[in-house]
Structure 1
């Protein structure tokens, strides 16, 4: 069952991969060297990626807010 929270990457991602390195479940991948993308089905909403993002473009929100 997915968590109640999920990470989302906003505009301004620099594709540095910092979030990928800290994700404990491998829910984030850098897509085509352009931006990070979160697999919402795997994300556990821990917010480690948001804390590590040097661009500050990752938010963790309640799933119902993003629907």
Structure 2
């Protein structure tokens, strides 16, 4: 077997079956997708979070609800 016949797993000294190599490649692709999705998430705006967590009782008209 020459160096051109070896893949990254063989070069790393891992003795894996072709199925295991395929599964690891699929995992690598999935991890790249997760990293790209996470990189696209904008940081949270603290003021926006405070607004969302504002007490609903202040804006809710209880008397109108019970009529």
In proportion to residue count, which structure has more helix?
2
In proportion to residue count, which structure has more strand?
1
Same fold (TM over 0.5): no
- From the CA coordinates, give the structure whose radius of gyration is larger: 2
- Shorter-normalised TM range: under 0.3
TM-score for both structures, normalised by structure 1: 0.18
Which fold has the larger relative contact order, with Cα–Cα distance below 8 Å and residues 6 or more apart in sequence?
1
